[in-house]
Structure 1
Amino acid sequence: MNQVVTKHVEPAVSSLVEVAVPLPIFSSLTYRIPQELGGYLMPCARVLVPVGRRIVTGYVLGSAATQPTAEIKNIIDVLDREPLFSEDDLRFYRWVADYYHYPLGLTLKAALPPGLTIQYEDRAELSTYGEQALSDPSLDARSKHLLEILKTCGKLSVKTLRKKAGLQGFTYHLTKLSRAGLVHISSAPQRGKVRVCMQRWFTATDVAPPQNLRGRQQKLMSYIKDHSPVSEKTLRKEFGTVTQVLAALEQKGLITVSYREMLRVPPSYEPLCIEPQHSLTADQQTALNNIDPALDQRIFYPVLLYGITGSGKTEIYLHAMQRVLARGAQCLYLVPEIALTAQLYDRISSRLNVPIALLHSGMTDGERFDAWRMIRRAEVGVVIGARSALFAPFAKLGAIIVDEEHDSSYKQEDGLRYNARDMAVVRAKIKSCVVILGSATPSLESYANALAKKYHLVSLPRRVENRALPQVSIVPLQAQPEKRKTASILTEPLRRALAERLASGKQSLLFLNRRGFAPVYVCQTCGAALRCPNCAVSLIYHRGDKQLTCHYCGYGMALPQECPACGSYFLVWLGWGTERLEAELGMLFPGARIARMDRDTMAQRGAVHRLIKNMSRGTLDIVIGTQMLVKGYHLPEVTLVGVVCADQSLHFPDYRSSERTFQLLTQVAGRAGRGDTPGEVIIQTYTPDHYSIRCAQRHDYQTFYEVEMKNRRELGYPPYTKMVLLRFEGVQQARVHECATAVGALARKSAQAHPGIEILGPCVAPLARIRSRWRYHLLLKSSSSQKVRAFAHHLIEQASRCVRQTGVALIIDVDPLQMV
């Protein structure tokens, strides 16, 4: 184990430290180090500190540069005996917080594994004076109501008391009772959910067992003597419940107990994909010749690896990682989808003989905490993870790989709204290492950076073993509304191609980017569609659950027998989802083995692994999926890919819709023909002449890039401009509109002193209401990232009073990807 060197805050130099707290404040707070904690405190560790009446978990940033004039409070406790991250990591976290205009304390909380923040909650309890006051006739009704609840229920959390009381002005009345001494308010800790896991181990002593040792004690003693030292977990597995028996043996002096840290790791599955050693193609060797010198020199070197589907990008990644590991450094491999990590783990572990850690939100809090600490101690060589793995505290980071760098999943859409692809480049610069952004369909921003020489462009223009790209056919859909509920969305060419694959024993994929049975449930009499009461969207019909569901807030209702608007019984579903497509295929091909890959079917842990295993073993014929299906799976027996409707993403109200459509179609087409049999792709569409669809048919990224960049230049969208989206949210639409309008007017006035800033809006968001909150957008644009972020910062400072007064939430999204 590598020893982590810790640097303590030296009390003799300064007894004051700066602490970031996970609250919506942008400055750090200064605290005094009590004498009894001085020897334990170190930068980058957690501490308990008071903030107002609350006690919160804070993060030590270092010694305070100046002494504030306000009263300085003491640190209550130190929670870590070693730092959770390094000074270099902290530098990166500061950069992220500054760029995305997010408080540093909340940035650190988002970066760290979940469960490390100790939560405190306020609790209210009736005092003796409060009990006496209940008989006071002068006591107002609302105060009396609160006191009666506390007398009946005893001590309650303030949150629970608020719900039970249901009073307007609750905080005012509770504060008044507290100040009068009628109610005691105290804070109680809710311990963090995760901590170091210690396990008991048992060793046999030299004491001879007594002659009367019988039964389970004798069996257990014999096992411990033969296997010393042995863990309690192993003993429970062999003998069941052993706690009392072990206690008896220890009391007799026959065994000793010790404690060891137990690392929690995700469950292992049967390997699916063993990656053999391949001979490099000429294109791959050329690519590595461009990358290897930078790996050896340990310099910042951003690479865009543009390789068509099936060109062997993973082989480049494996060779690069092998070179980095050979000099004792670590590698970070980012993927856009958690489901990809299992197959990738198999491929990497079969080639690289090093410890590998997974790090993503699909793991338990304990597993993520232990992986974090192993990475910090340099006990693992390769880390495979989704976007949050970017924040891991690497001791010796040597290379970062961002696979499928174009994928929008790298952008976090709530809380800290960061883009892991862009931040990977920043992290590589801070760590002075190579970063490889790989894709068959690079984002326009990345490709523009490569052409501008900001990134080094490396290309793989041909598939390995000279395999042909799949032949792509476009089938126009009849642009007619459904005349009957059973009308099929599968055209004759696609049905015929599916039948041919079934007859030949080959596998097929069908892509439909909409889960559920049908997206609309509508009344044929009055035309009303059943909509979510909390969101401005239609409810999705899920036939398996026999209910209508909102995919935004989770609201659900049983399938109604009559229209809520007019009482008519003539209700019908419209449109197609993966569930309906699965039912349709079951009727068309009764003997086919069909599976579905979407959030509904893949929610259970290990579900994706089981589906890919069944595909690899040939026990499935057809897999239907949403965009989960598109992301990098290697399925050599798939020879047919059908795109059921290419228009769903194309007509989305977003300037990136054409780019997303081209990427989705090209990526899903790339799943076909990766083995020895040539592949075929059939794209069904209502807009067969759109350039994004035609370019995907020809596998022509260059033409698509030129056309789309021309459109972006004319409209003033990225990568020609940088944007900051201000979103206003609130329960009352009038207040949200008022606040957005006031800030918009303020923005236009301020922009007069800031040339080069363009302001669009405010206006109602395309999705006007989500989770009972109304949404308005104000968009700031400029050709300079620094200018638009500085203007946004200036505007937010000016508008903060207006936002606070209206009670509206202001959300800042730098470099937004989703504009809905």
Structure 2
Amino acid sequence: MQAEVLVSIAHHQVDKVFYYNIPPSLAGRVQVGSRVLVPFGRRKIEGYVVGLNPAPNQEELKDLAALLDEDPVFTPLQLALARWMAAYYLCPTVKALRAIIWPLLQIKGPKKVKGLWPAVCGNVPDPRRAPKSAAVWEVIQARPGLTRKELAEAAGVSPRVVDSMVARGLLTSKERIELRDPCRNLPEKRSFPPVLYGEQLRAVKKIIEALDKNDGRHVFLLHGVTGSGKTEVYLQAIAAALNRGKQAIVLVPEIALTPQMIDIFRSRFGHQVAVLHSRLSDGERYDEYHRLRTGEAKVVLGARSAIFSPLEKPGLIILDEEHEPSYKQEESPRYHARTVALRLAGYTGAVVVLGSATPSLESYCQAAGGGTYQLLELNQRVGELTLPSVHLIDLRRELRKGNKGIFSEALQEAITDRLSRREQVILFLNRRGYSTLVVCRECGLVLKCPHCDISLTYHASGRLRCHYCNYSVMAPSLCPGCGSHYVAYLGMGTQKVEQEIRRLFPAARVLRLDSDTVGRRGAHREIIETFREGEADILVGTQMVAKGLDIPGVTLVGVINADISLHMPDFRASERTFQLLTQVAGRSGRGKKKGEVMIQTYSPEHYAITCAQNHDYRGFYRREMAMRRALGYPPFTHLARLLVTGKLEREVQEAADFLAQAVRTTNAPVELLGPAPAPIGRIKDRYRWHLVLKAPVQNFLREAATAALNDFYNMSNYRRVQVSIDIAPQSMM
């Protein structure tokens, strides 16, 4: 037997199995899933054993150099998923595999510390003669394994007291593994399932029936208005899965992975819940991953990569806010967590639940248009609460009335009213920073990032910052082009909104929630908890405030400018705008008091905005589907995007032209759009051109793209140019 190895080089030319002999020193230790070191050319590199079979050619095979881990780092199920991803998304297999197992690759192993235990044979300290030693002894009896520092703090004594007890043989020291628990500082809470109302009960019953069938053919779209109790449906479905000896995966968008969601799941399922998201340290991620591998944790709550969790018996897979674009990975492998979840369910027989108040058009079409999904609906808010009333404010009329400020008169009056009644307000603007455009009014120069084709954003700190590459520079007092003093700061972000609110309402307690304020670990939780506890009156934020917040005190939501996402150069712009407005509106009126929403817009007649005003998902669905059908966009067709990047624009354009010609010569039944410069033509000093392929069947896209890429890679002229392919792209920027 030889080892079939995937070498850790993510390139199409080496995307194949290489055979190595297993030396006697490693016999019986190497298995499928092992991470190994192999000679490759003149160097030794990391590789992964994906099979143990006789090599077709036994001549001149090299030996494995070393075994890097005693235990396998991936399971057969994870390997199958990686191979499927490589074929589906046209990426190297090893890249897909590393995306799946990367929590194990970031850190070498568990954290080991020296803990203390009471000695088997030791005199119990006398509390009257040695009160401090007695205090230590009492703590160590109840909590053996504490470190020296932990024990001293728990007993309220100096570490020297602990040291003396070790020296006298009262305490013994030995090594133990310390769990790096991301929830270690959270208070222990316990909650119990509430009584479900009719629609919730029917939804849970349908999911449980599917769990019992265990055939992997059940995908549910849970379409519930904001505040309708979708989370409770998830919780009771998970409880049913656990009772049947199965495990559950719950995915939430990164932006919605709030402390509130973690609290809810931990209070219901305790330490059976493992948390996986990008804010964890490498050690925390490793330990949570290990708890899932060993079966200690049976429920994983996390962002999109949590779909790869090493569960043995995943019986239920839930995607909350399934419409969110953050479920799509924008770097290779460019997978969509929803698509991977459906494939994983096919392998394991799991039930899939996709939940949203504003489902993606693709999912709703599958559920309501005779597709493969089953539609479950929650049309009422829990507790007989009503949806908020939504008012549109035409900013064109405000301008004609002479109001050039951020807030309309109606919104200012509404904020004043809420503050007088001690109710809370959320103000939403999906742009961070202070001013979004810095321009010279003398020569017209717009200050742009030197590395990206994007304007710099002015921040209240006095710095200009690029939100794509993080380039930063102090704002100039004079125009760099003509030396003029007439430098204007136009547009607005959340910092300007916060400043204006503080000016208009100096007595109000104001918080801001955006990526600039949550850089510090734990800051997100602190801001949300402060607002929930009523210690602030107004919360200003980006889309971080649009989802996942259930704060009963909020009775007013103000949308500062609804048009920011509406006019983006992307065919999904209307859908994203409707979803965002509906979601942020849903934060209002979740308590006993009636909620209200005010949407400021320059496009009050647009159907994405009027449908959001009326909480009319079906109306929006009909209008948008008619538009998609006329233009030939998903869900009526399939897309693939080829993105060409490089340091020299001329080379990038030539490479894009070559790829376009290669696609045409395949004679595949695909429609080609482009090549053309991408909407953002340069990022991090790399120019960007793209081609978009459209076809009625997705396999046609793969055939055309694969043939074109093979022609491209066989050419030696474009070695300095990179090409990436995105199957079913979620962004055209």
With the shorter chain as reference, the TM-score category is: over 0.9
Distance 2:303 2:122 in 1: 54
3-state SS in 2 of match to 1:739: helix
1:272 positional shift: 11
1:332 positional shift: 0.9
1:749 aligns with 665
Distance 1:673 1:636 in 2: 7
Which of 777, 780, 784 pairs up with 2:693? 780
CA contact (8 A) 1:724 1:788 kept: yes
Distance 2:566 2:219 in 1: 31
CA contact (8 A) 1:20 1:104 kept: no
1:564 aligns with 480
Cα displacement string for residues 701-759 of structure 1 (whole angstroms, at most 9, x for unaligned residues): 11111111111111111111111111000011111111111111121122x2x2x2111
Q: Is 2:431 the counterpart of 1:514?
A: yes
1:22 positional shift: 4.3
1:696 aligns with 612
User: In the TM superposition, what are the counterparts of 1:758-797 in structure 2 within 5 Å?
Assistant: 758-797=671-710
Q: Is 2:76 the counterpart of 1:87?
A: yes
Q: Is 2:418 the counterpart of 1:530?
A: no
Q: Is 2:8 the counterpart of 1:21?
A: yes
Q: Give the AA of the match of 1:63.
A: L
Q: Share of identical aligned residues, percent?
A: 41
1:232 aligns with 147
Cα displacement string for residues 482-510 of structure 1 (whole angstroms, at most 9, x for unaligned residues): 999x9412100111111110001111111
Distance 1:204 1:307 in 2: 55
Cα displacement string for residues 316-362 of structure 1 (whole angstroms, at most 9, x for unaligned residues): 11110110111221111110025524211211232335521101111
Q: Is 2:24 the counterpart of 1:46?
A: no
1:807 positional shift: 1.2
1:395 positional shift: 1.6
Which of 508, 514, 517 pairs up with 1:601? 517
2:385 aligns with 467
Cα displacement string for residues 365-404 of structure 1 (whole angstroms, at most 9, x for unaligned residues): 1111111111011111211100111111002211011000
3-state SS in 1 of match to 2:396: coil
Distance 2:575 2:228 in 1: 21
Distance 2:590 2:133 in 1: 60
CA contact (8 A) 2:300 2:309 kept: no
1:662 positional shift: 0.4
Q: Give the AA of the match of 2:64.
A: I
Gaps spanning 5+ residues in structure 1: where? 1-13, 118-191
Cα displacement string for residues 59-111 of structure 1 (whole angstroms, at most 9, x for unaligned residues): 21111353346742222222222223321222112111221111111112122
Q: Give the AA of the match of 1:232.
A: T
Indicate how the Cα distance of structure 1 residues 278 and 193 shifts in structure 2: closer, same or farther if over 3 A, else same. Answer: closer
1:333 aligns with 250
Distance 1:232 1:706 in 2: 63
CA contact (8 A) 1:518 1:577 kept: yes
Which of 16, 23, 30 pairs up with 1:34? 23
1:617 positional shift: 1.1
CA contact (8 A) 2:644 2:722 kept: yes
Distance 1:369 1:813 in 2: 29
Distance 1:771 1:690 in 2: 35
Distance 1:346 1:567 in 2: 55
3-state SS in 1 of match to 2:387: coil
Q: Give the AA of the match of 1:575.
A: G
CA contact (8 A) 2:345 2:352 kept: yes
1:113 aligns with 102
2:113 aligns with 199
User: In the TM superposition, what are the counterparts of 1:223-622 in structure 2 within 5 Å?
Assistant: 229-232=144-147, 234-235=150-151, 237=153, 245=163, 256-270=172-186, 277-300=193-216, 301-337=218-254, 340-353=257-270, 355-450=272-367, 451-478=369-396, 487-543=404-460, 545-622=461-538
3-state SS in 2 of match to 1:729: strand
Q: Give the AA of the match of 2:281.
A: T
TM-score by length of 2: 0.93
1:172 aligns with none
1:291 positional shift: 1.6
2:637 aligns with 721
Distance 2:438 2:146 in 1: 57
Which of 718, 727, 730 pairs up with 1:814? 727
Distance 2:188 2:226 in 1: 21
Q: Give the AA of the match of 2:530.
A: N
State which structure, 1 or 2, has the greater radius of gyration over its C-alpha atoms: 1
2:91 aligns with 102
Distance 2:23 2:139 in 1: 47
Distance 1:542 1:70 in 2: 64
Distance 1:39 1:745 in 2: 52
1:305 positional shift: 0.5
Indicate how the Cα distance of structure 1 residues 777 and 226 shifts in structure 2: closer, same or farther if over 3 A, else same. Answer: closer
Distance 1:382 1:794 in 2: 42
Which of 628, 631, 655 pairs up with 1:712? 628
CA contact (8 A) 2:432 2:495 kept: yes
Q: Give the AA of the match of 2:265.
A: I
Indicate how the Cα distance of structure 1 residues 440 and 55 shifts in structure 2: closer, same or farther if over 3 A, else same. Answer: same
2:566 aligns with 650
CA contact (8 A) 1:331 1:399 kept: yes
Indicate how the Cα distance of structure 1 residues 220 and 679 shifts in structure 2: closer, same or farther if over 3 A, else same. Answer: closer
CA contact (8 A) 2:140 2:151 kept: no
Distance 1:724 1:613 in 2: 42
Distance 2:371 2:652 in 1: 44
Q: Is 2:597 the counterpart of 1:684?
A: no
Indicate how the Cα distance of structure 1 residues 222 and 576 shifts in structure 2: closer, same or farther if over 3 A, else same. Answer: closer
Distance 1:293 1:193 in 2: 41
1:9 aligns with none
Cα displacement string for residues 246-286 of structure 1 (whole angstroms, at most 9, x for unaligned residues): 9x957x87765433322211144455997563221111122
Q: CA RMSD in A?
A: 2.8
Indicate how the Cα distance of structure 1 residues 221 and 382 shifts in structure 2: closer, same or farther if over 3 A, else same. Answer: closer
TM-score by length of 1: 0.83
CA contact (8 A) 2:561 2:599 kept: yes
3-state SS in 1 of match to 2:715: helix
CA contact (8 A) 1:630 1:664 kept: yes
Q: Give the AA of the match of 2:688.
A: R
CA contact (8 A) 1:224 1:230 kept: no
Decide which moves more: 18-27 or 422-431.
Answer: 18-27
1:733 aligns with 649
Distance 1:104 1:596 in 2: 42
Decide which moves more: 567-576 or 333-342.
Answer: 333-342
CA contact (8 A) 2:31 2:52 kept: no
CA contact (8 A) 1:338 1:360 kept: no
Distance 1:206 1:627 in 2: 57
CA contact (8 A) 1:510 1:643 kept: yes
Distance 2:300 2:543 in 1: 24
Q: Give the AA of the match of 2:147.
A: E
Distance 1:819 1:320 in 2: 36
1:578 positional shift: 0.3
Cα displacement string for residues 21-44 of structure 1 (whole angstroms, at most 9, x for unaligned residues): 243232122222111111211211
1:608 positional shift: 1.6
Indicate how the Cα distance of structure 1 residues 446 and 29 shifts in structure 2: closer, same or farther if over 3 A, else same. Answer: same
Indicate how the Cα distance of structure 1 residues 222 and 540 shifts in structure 2: closer, same or farther if over 3 A, else same. Answer: same
CA contact (8 A) 1:340 1:633 kept: no
